Chain A
Amino acid sequence: MPDTLETAASRDDRPVVRAAEARKLIRRSSEWEFLRRQIYTEAVVLSKQLGFDFRLMLTQPRLAEIAGRLMWRMIRPFDASVLVGAGFGAAPLMFAIAMSALKEGRSLGILMIRDKRKEHNMKKWVEGKRPPSGSRALIVDDFMRSGTAVTLVEQALSEDRCELDIAGVALFFDTWEPLGSRQMSVSRYPVVSLFRRHDIGVTRDCFDAKPPTMKGSFPPFVEKPLWWRFDLNGKRGYRLKCAPALADGAVFAADDRCNVWRHNLNDGTVEWKYESLADHPKGIVQLLQFADGSLVFGCYDGTVTRLDARTGKVIWRVRQDSSIHATPALDAAGGRVFVNTEQWNNGSPVGSLLALDWSTGRILWRYRHRYWAPGSPYYCPDNGLVAATCNDGTMVCVEAASGTRRWEFRTRGLVRGRPLISDGRAYAATESGALHCVDVSSGAEEWTVRYGKGLMHAFLLAQSGCVYVFDGKWHLSAFDQNSGALRWLSRLRSAGTWCPVSSGRYLVALSRGGHLSVLDPRRQIKVWEGSVGGAYWQPPAIGAGFLAAASNDQGLKVFRISDFYTHESDK
């Protein structure tokens, strides 16, 4: 029969157990938290894969000194007299640990392992003053993925006939790989680490998940659907579909046959259906916009339509160009709608940013792009500006009143999602993985950072000094609006859909595989994780205590959000 081993820490005085106890205390210290934050800015490398380089961090004396002190507190129970490690990451860490030990009167020997035997002079593989044979030692490293450094250390010690009693492996950061430190910890040596990847949000489970169910202490955000319409989208040719909207006691959803539906929020009853004039293969790909008792949206048949939300009757419908991918931006106070439109133009595509009159749909001005413009514009009422992107690799900022161009910025890659203007800056996330920040008054670049593997349809969200972006892999990253520094991140089970959605004090991320993550930006943690079932390429809608999700293959689902989260939000 399988058996779960229970930790009997209180009764167990083995070094590994005492080290784990010490780590628990260390994790409560401000210095540990300080180092944890430094990992985001100094060690995380965002490219197509999430990577790490702790040498950048541990070659800074102040950070190395703190790391050494905390590591020493953690490994002290092993009572080792020698530290042994390989590479440029281990070397500064071993010295920092030894310096901390020295302050307590403990002199630790250090052995440094070359990546291969030196080919001249004394041809050593192991460098450092040889300790007495059989000395108790710890293998130290800054980072472990597959554990090859441990094998290298063992081989070098063996070939240089340096006999040590290896008591364990001490790591600064452990990626906790199944066949790396996890296997090592149950087969060869105890492995202790100051940080595990979970400490910086790189885990699919919520922050306090416990085996075997991997559930945490937070109640489910949603459970069974309140109602479920089994069919909505069916076309497979184009994966992006329309995100629903929750307003006016209803759920509004558009399907990929260009129909718009109003469902009763409480029971799903169909209250009306609007049929577009054409059934374009790509349908309606929008964040449906509700304002003034009406619904406005663009359709791939080229039309922008404003419907009476109560009746589904057309208030106005215009078609200026051949197709619209972009979600319109509303200026309800100014009575304007801004939308990017596209025209095939006999194989020489062009795009336009249009301003339409909110009452009539009449065109107020047109700004001509140089190419397709599928990206959604963003209107900022604070400074009366509209930011819009074009597939020629530009982001433009125009005056909302006139369409006069203020500036143009060249992006590193396409932006077919939506840029953002917040606190005097414009942001855009490109499909090549670049996150740009531009001064909104001048168009001058303030900073550009890599946010990871590029996402095809990234919409941005700014909140509490951070700009949030999904990458094309499975991360949600929060960047400091001022500096572009990575503040925190969270790992999803698959790539996120467009952008996270605010739900009171929480952020909700729906990933393509139908997993829902609820994150607390203040604590910078994932508090709950579950599945709503189905495949999704578009975000959910959240409002009035409900969540609506339009799936590519499992229809439209509406859930009631747990009171725990809505009451929390009210506080």
Chain B
Amino acid sequence: MKTEIQPACAKDQASRPTYTIVTQVKSNRVVYFTDDPDYSPPMEEDWYYISSYDGELPRGMSLSNCWRWRFNGGGFSESKATRHDIPSAQRLLDHNRKALFGILKEKIDLLRAKLAPSCRMGTPVRQEKLREATAFLAGEEGAAEYPFLEAVAVARHISLAEAARLISAKAQATKEVLGETERIREQFAEAISAAQTEAELLAIRERLLDEAYPHLTGAFAIEVDKTRPVEPDRPISEVHLRHERSRLRVQLRERINAKRAAHVSPYVLEEVILRRKAALAEEVIACNGRAPDSRDFSLLENYARQTGASLLEASRDVMAKLEDIDRILVETEKAKDSLLVEIARAGTLRDTRRISMMIDSL
């Protein structure tokens, strides 16, 4: 049997399937297709075209979805994916992802807003100020004019050198905040983008409230739609409740820390010193203001001398300070314990509002 060898291109030509494509006349959308060479439609009407097509069909096109493609007689084009093509679970994830980006953006914006120029063209003005300050501090006093630097110095009644240092310090502070906020923003943005499940997003939400600038978290209470009368006793959904509990816990922590911070010294080991002073003060008070000979009271005596008080007065002062710290610690600890329980029990908008007010009133 003689076999003819076809040229490659002719072979390709022969292996390409031929389809009959039925399209709606109005829209060119594909209604039906077949590679049956004997195909003829059982009904003949004026709403469709029948065309032939040599070549591969679009990837993924089947008889149950071919309406998504248009065929103009020569080629296919896919219609824009409709909203219905996105699964509802994915839509929820997208929605929640967007909400987290919103919280992140708002927090970062709140921090940066304080550093942003208040007037138009403020950014180039600041750049010019910094350039002048840097040049001045580099010793180019006589080399150039410093109109921006002079403006700062004149307005504040300070020298050019002081103005240059002020500008330089502010620029450095701004740079640090920008660097820090950008680091946080990048971290969270990446995590939010990478999250694939609702649980992951919820965990990120808690971290976003708890770790990223928690002092701003209080502002992120659930927004209550006031289009209709609010029902404060209606149970909050589980997702919102989780958000609100996280927010309230952070709010509580920030509030208690703020109260305690007033009694925290910037000096390292200050508390140890205070406790030692207090131990001495207790003995002095027990001896009616006299320092027993048994140990070294110079720490307390020096404090009394420097403050111009008697040893008894200085001892009472030290004890009062310590009692004050103890009182604050006990008060805040009690409040913390009871409010954490309240937060865990909260179930309605009325609960969360009440707890938020209780935290604010601490």
> What residues of chain A have their CB less than 8 Å away from a CB belonging to chain B?
1-8, 12, 16-17, 168, 178-179, 182-183, 185-191, 210-212, 214, 347, 349, 370-372, 391-393, 414
The reply to whether B47 and A211 contact each other, CB–CB distance below 8 Å, is yes
Point out the residues of chain B lying under 8 angstroms from A212, CB to CB: 25-26
State the Cβ distance, B154 to closest chain A Cβ, in Å. 38
Nearest A residue to B39 by beta-carbon distance? A187
| B48 neighbours in A (Cβ, 8 Å) | 5, 182, 186
A35: min CB distance to chain B, Å: 23
* Contact A179 to B73, CB < 8 A, known contacts A187-B34, A211-B26: no
The reply to whether B63 and A185 contact each other, CB–CB distance below 8 Å, is no
Which of B164-172, B225-233, B249-257, B259-267 lies at the interface?
A: B225-233
- Which residues on the B side are within 8 Å of A349 (C-beta)? 226
Assembly CA distance A186 to B50 (angstroms): 10
The 8 Å CB contact of B63, one of A3, A179, A189, is A179
Cβ-defined partner of B32 (8 Å) among A5, A186, A370, A393: A186
State the CA gap A191–B44 with chains docked (Å): 11
Residues of B that sit less than 8 Å from A by CB? 22-26, 29, 31-32, 34, 41-51, 63-67, 73, 226-229
Q: Are B73 and A1 in contact (CB under 8 A)?
A: yes
Contacts of B227 in A (CB 8 A): 372, 391, 414
Partner of A3, one of B43, B49, B67: B49
Known contacts A186-B48, A187-B22; 13 further A-B pairs (Cβ under 8 A): A2-B50, A3-B51, A5-B46, A5-B48, A7-B44, A17-B44, A182-B48, A185-B43, A191-B43, A211-B47, A370-B229, A372-B227, A414-B227
Q: Is the CB of B229 within 8 A of A391?
A: yes
The secondary structure that dominates the A interface is loop
Complex A-B, nearest 9 residue pairs according to Cβ-Cβ distance, in ascending order? A211-B25, A2-B49, A186-B41, A178-B67, A212-B25, A2-B73, A2-B51, A185-B43, A190-B42
Q: With A211-B26, A392-B229 as given contacts, are A183 and B50 in contact (CB-CB < 8 Å)?
A: no
State the Cβ distance, A82 to closest chain B Cβ, in Å: 19
In the bound assembly, the distance between CA atoms of A414 and B67 in angstroms comes to 38
Which residue on chain B has the smallest CB distance to residue A168?
B42
Contact for B31 among A8, A17, A183, A189, CB less than 8 A: A183
Separation in Å of the A187 CB from the closest CB of chain B? Answer: 5
Given known A2-B51, A2-B73, A186-B22, contact A16–B43 (CB-CB < 8 A): yes
Most B CB contacts (10 A, CB to CB) among A1, A186, A187, A392 go to A186
Docked pose: A347 CA to B224 CA in angstroms:
11
Contact check, A178 vs B29: say whether CB atoms are below 8 A apart: yes
CB distance from A203 to the nearest CB of B (A): 11
Q: A42 to B63, alpha carbons, bound, how many Å?
A: 33
Whether the pair A183, B43 counts as a contact (CB closer than 8 A) is no
B42, A371: Cβ atoms closer than 8 Å: no
Residues from chain A with Cβ under 8 Å of B32 in the complex: 183, 186-187
A315 to B22, alpha carbons, bound, how many Å? 66
Whose C-beta in chain A lies nearest to the C-beta of B30? A178
